[in-house]
Structure 1
Amino acid sequence: MVALDITVLEQHMDLLRPLLPARDAPEAAAYMLLGASDIATDPWTGQPRLRLISHRVVGIPAADRISASPVHVTWSTTGFMRLLGDATIAGKVPAIVHTHPGSHAFFSEQDDRNERELARTASLKGVRGLVSIVLGGDGSICARMWTDANGYTLADAVQIVGGRFLRHASNGDDFDAPHLDRQRRLFGDRFNETLRSLRVCVVGCGGTGSPVALLLARLGVGRISLIDNDTLAESNLNRVHGSRRHDVGMLKVDILKREIEAMGVDCHVVTSQAWVKSEEVRDTLKSADFVFGCTDDNSGRIFVNRLAYFYGIPLIDVGLRMVAASETHGNDLNGRVTTVLPGRPCLICSGVVNAARANEEDLERSRPDEFQKRKAEAYVMGGGDPAPAVVTFTTEMATTAVNEMIAALTGFHGNDGMVPNRVRRWHARDERFTAHGSREGCPVCNADGSRGAGDVVPFLDAVS
């Protein structure tokens, strides 16, 4: 059986919340279209998984509503047939959402009977399946997907993803972790349980990625994926956590896996010696609940930037810029953490990445001879001297990045959760929270087509 989980983007949940005005209100309903993320092999279980992501909310017109009470809701099938047609054209999965205002979320016998007939119709129309989501008046959520009129799969979890990350699991496992008792005392039992359920991907395992990975394991994250194709150089010893001199020449991902396993904290670590844009890591990225961008190249950042919008996976991107003092100016020491997700500006609109430099990096990887030729002719910038790096600064920004994930899970610094963009200027002894808007017409963060689209051809709607 294929495991199933469902992501509802916060901006779509905001459209659904008015369906639950009060506990004694009549039941209400809406439709949705969901993007599909087919994961052939979950890297931690080795099994296939399906993740569905909210793509669009479709209201049910008042004219289609027949009757409603606190224990039932009925509506005309006219809009449902239109939904099936839209799903077929768009290649999306149709969903019905209804409420249980006075109780928790569950599937009643009446739901079983009604949905079975709707699923039969959906099957005859040739759509992939029919999803049903129930919103409880107590804030609970449950979901399932009918593959035909005779069978359905319950979602293991439904997560609401925005500045906050709220996970509703259908069957949480018993989890007793004495070593996490101190953080339980601060954030409660559910904090540790949610961390245990998370799949987190760290892209880049150097000066920021290595402390991020080790901190995630110490926190109690249950599954971590490490992606990096570099080996440890002697010059990395000043900032790659867990590394030792005899590790020079060893893969960075293997060093971190060794160190995490040596902790004995029951964290399942998988590694990929690959560039983030390689096809071999797509399932790993699509399986993640959070992605930490700790790579120093523009091309990789643009790639995971697009992933955040198409799959509704929050990206926490870390960057540093350090300039040594000269005769004309002092040190210029800057650290940045940017959180990227649907509803917020992308890294390009925020001015974090350079698209022209990203093209040069792709050229250097795919056609190195042509890159060197253009560099000699001054058509590309090329790589200069290695950038300065000091372990205290890289580690501080790694900690800041992990704290943003904690903010998403707990809301400890406000109900909006993660801060969109935080810049720390050590030389100026200040910290700034800069605001950026999405560029008009941006095809990534200002386009309805990419938000929760899931799998499309070509991947991420990007042509190499």
Structure 2
Amino acid sequence: MKASLTLQEHHYELLKELLQHDDGTEGAAYLLCGNSFIISDPWDRQEHHKFISYAVEKVPDEDVVSQSQLHITWKTDSFVKTLKQAKIRGLTVAIIHSHSDLLAFSEQDDLNEPDLVDLAKNRNGLDTNLLSLILMPSGEMIGRLWVSRNKNIPLILIRIVGNAIRLHYPDRGKGIPSSILQRQALAFGESLNQDLSLLRVGIVGCGGTGSAVAMLLGRLGIGHIALFDKDVVEESNLNRLHGAFRDDVKQKLPKVQAIARSLLGLDVEVQTFQEWINEDICHEALKSCDIIFGCTDDHSGRLLLNRFAYYYATPVIDLGLALEVANDVGSLRFACADGRVTVLMPKHSCLLCHGVIDPVQARDENLKRIDPDEFERRKKEAYVLGEGNPSPAVVTFTTSVAIMAIEEFLHRLQGWRGENNAIANRVRKFTLTTDRNQGATYNPNCPICVNQDIWGLGDRDLFLEVL
């Protein structure tokens, strides 16, 4: 079994505020975490328990018995109260404290924490686990998962996700440099290449934008890619589907296989899923991803990814392209040519608030998928929306939108644009040769991006609490 933690950026900043003191004394807090349990990671087939930060709880000042630059001790009253909260919400408790100069667990930590494990199991049940984390003045973090008083597992990765994406893992920056990516390292530094090689990235939708994203990620040095698309290659795809050929149309080759074939020979492990993403087989793979590119053009798929980004605090970069030909007689110009890249995660507005998703159309798409006969009956009676004419599509524009998405992804990992330059919603007006960083007005009743109760909640009895 392996374990990791996703820490929402605003929780990380709050922890630094609570734990880091001007006089160097150690501080402590609790972190309530959602659970994402993966029975079999699609790349290494290992069991993986991912934790997601849900809420930060301060250790009350009155509970602190003593503290110095070398230690902190506190009464367990607040720990028991936090365990009670965790039990009610189906969460896991993490204890986190600061060290001033040691990025490792001390002998005192090793002595004290097994007793807390026993207390947690006695209070919340024998299957209860306990996380333990250390925060350094530099912001670096390490952690471990206690599964019993005699056994703990080091966290393989701590992801901090927000306007910046920071990765903490053993020996970061000490990997073997890649000769293939040497010139990329000259631009971004060698640590980024190591980060990219560890990441698991999902691409949902393998058409014009999705195939371009896959080609770019493979060349950037991403180590693990999952491709999701139920469709096969059709003749109308060939003008924009990177990696597809005319023979693929004859053979009705799945799009995911066409793209995977084009990534052969690169240092990337590719897993393919020729399924709709709400199928059970896809849930484990989606949960295994550190970041997801949403390249689907259907409302139903977008609606699911929109929820996923907030329940699992997994960044979803959603891509869209709108091309509309002018109605002028004899005109060959565009009335609209807009590319869009929207980043979804807690503290970011969602696709519902941006007006990108039509819930009615999403409902009808779901009906067509699960009961096509009923869909056709309702369509005849005008109870559902039928399919319209195909939209215009040009490979240069779909590829350009893919590049916009990759640029945002790289900036959040490496910061190449400079501080405070993450763009949550970027629209490129191709006809005006301009980019616009467009915000969105939050719907105060939005059940997703305004409802902090679901941020980082993780696994529920129903996937994303959707029937």
Name the TM-score class by shorter chain. Answer: over 0.9
Q: CA deviation at 1:430?
A: 2.1
Specify the alignment match of 1:117 in structure 2. 115
User: In 1, distance between residues paired with 2:176 and 2:362?
Assistant: 43
Specify the alignment match of 1:157 in structure 2. 157
The amino acid that maps onto 2:344 is V
Contact 1:27 1:68 in 2 (8 A): yes
Secondary structure of the equivalent of 1:58?
Answer: strand
Contact 1:23 1:137 in 2 (8 A): no
Specify the alignment match of 1:186 in structure 2. 187
Contact 2:87 2:124 in 1 (8 A): yes
Q: Is 1:433 matched up with 2:437?
A: yes
Contact 1:200 1:225 in 2 (8 A): yes
- Tell me the alpha carbon deviations over residues 418-464 of structure 1, each in whole angstroms, 9 at most, x when there is no partner: 3110111112332211111332132211112211001012111122x
User: In 2, distance between residues paired with 1:88 and 1:22?
Assistant: 31
Q: CA deviation at 1:370?
A: 1.8
Q: Is 1:256 matched up with 2:259?
A: yes
Contact 1:104 1:138 in 2 (8 A): no
Contact 1:318 1:397 in 2 (8 A): yes
Instruction: Between 307-316 and 410-419, report the one with greater CA deviation.
Output: 410-419
Specify the alignment match of 2:166 in structure 1. 166
Secondary structure of the equivalent of 1:178?
Answer: coil
Q: CA deviation at 1:265?
A: 2.2
Contact 2:19 2:29 in 1 (8 A): no
Matches within 5 A, 1:4-403: 4-21=3-20, 24-100=23-99, 102-127=100-125, 128-172=128-172, 174-248=175-249, 249-261=252-264, 264-327=265-328, 330-331=333-334, 332-403=336-407
Secondary structure of the equivalent of 2:93?
Answer: strand
The amino acid that maps onto 1:401 is A
Contact 1:131 1:146 in 2 (8 A): yes
Contact 1:199 1:224 in 2 (8 A): yes
Q: CA deviation at 1:412?
A: 1.5
- Tell me the alpha carbon deviations over residues 339-363 of structure 1, each in whole angstroms, 9 at most, x when there is no partner: 0011111111111111111011011
The amino acid that maps onto 2:263 is I
The amino acid that maps onto 1:250 is L
User: In 1, distance between residues paired with 2:53 and 2:68?
Assistant: 27
Secondary structure of the equivalent of 1:114?
Answer: helix
Which residue of 412, 415, 420 maps to 2:416? 412
Secondary structure of the equivalent of 1:6?
Answer: strand
The amino acid that maps onto 1:253 is V
- Tell me the alpha carbon deviations over residues 245-291 of structure 1, each in whole angstroms, 9 at most, x when there is no partner: 11112111111111101xx2211011001011111110100000110
The amino acid that maps onto 1:94 is V
Contact 1:410 1:417 in 2 (8 A): no
Q: CA deviation at 1:46?
A: 1.2
Instruction: Between 210-219 and 413-422, report the one with greater CA deviation.
Output: 413-422
User: In 1, distance between residues paired with 2:193 and 2:425?
Assistant: 26
User: In 1, distance between residues paired with 2:379 and 2:454?
Assistant: 35
The amino acid that maps onto 1:226 is L
Q: How many residues align?
A: 459
User: In 2, distance between residues paired with 1:312 and 1:298?
Assistant: 21
User: In 1, distance between residues paired with 2:269 and 2:277?
Assistant: 20
Contact 1:27 1:69 in 2 (8 A): yes
- Tell me the alpha carbon deviations over residues 200-230 of structure 1, each in whole angstroms, 9 at most, x when there is no partner: 0000111000010010010000000001111
Secondary structure of the equivalent of 2:454?
Answer: coil
Instruction: Between 168-177 and 7-16, report the one with greater CA deviation.
Output: 168-177
Q: CA deviation at 1:21?
A: 3.9
The amino acid that maps onto 2:141 is I
Seq. identity, %:
41
Secondary structure of the equivalent of 2:263?
Answer: helix
The amino acid that maps onto 1:302 is L
Secondary structure of the equivalent of 2:378?
Answer: helix
Secondary structure of the equivalent of 1:384?
Answer: coil
* Structure 2 residue ranges without an equivalent (≥5): none
Secondary structure of the equivalent of 1:351?
Answer: coil
User: In 2, distance between residues paired with 1:454 and 1:399?
Assistant: 30
Secondary structure of the equivalent of 2:443?
Answer: coil
Contact 1:20 1:137 in 2 (8 A): no
The amino acid that maps onto 1:454 is G
Contact 2:338 2:428 in 1 (8 A): yes
- Tell me the alpha carbon deviations over residues 177-201 of structure 1, each in whole angstroms, 9 at most, x when there is no partner: 1110111111111100000000000
Instruction: Between 124-133 and 192-201, report the one with greater CA deviation.
Output: 124-133
Secondary structure of the equivalent of 1:167?
Answer: strand
Q: CA deviation at 1:417?
A: 5.6
The amino acid that maps onto 2:206 is C
User: In 1, distance between residues paired with 2:77 and 2:367?
Assistant: 52
Secondary structure of the equivalent of 1:449?
Answer: helix
TM-score, normalised via structure 1 length: 0.96
User: In 1, distance between residues paired with 2:452 and 2:131?
Assistant: 21
Secondary structure of the equivalent of 1:208?
Answer: helix
Instruction: Between 411-420 and 51-60, report the one with greater CA deviation.
Output: 411-420
User: In 2, distance between residues paired with 1:274 and 1:326?
Assistant: 38
User: In 2, distance between residues paired with 1:243 and 1:312?
Assistant: 33
Say what the alpha-carbon RMSD is for the aligned residues.
Answer: 1.4
Contact 1:104 1:140 in 2 (8 A): no
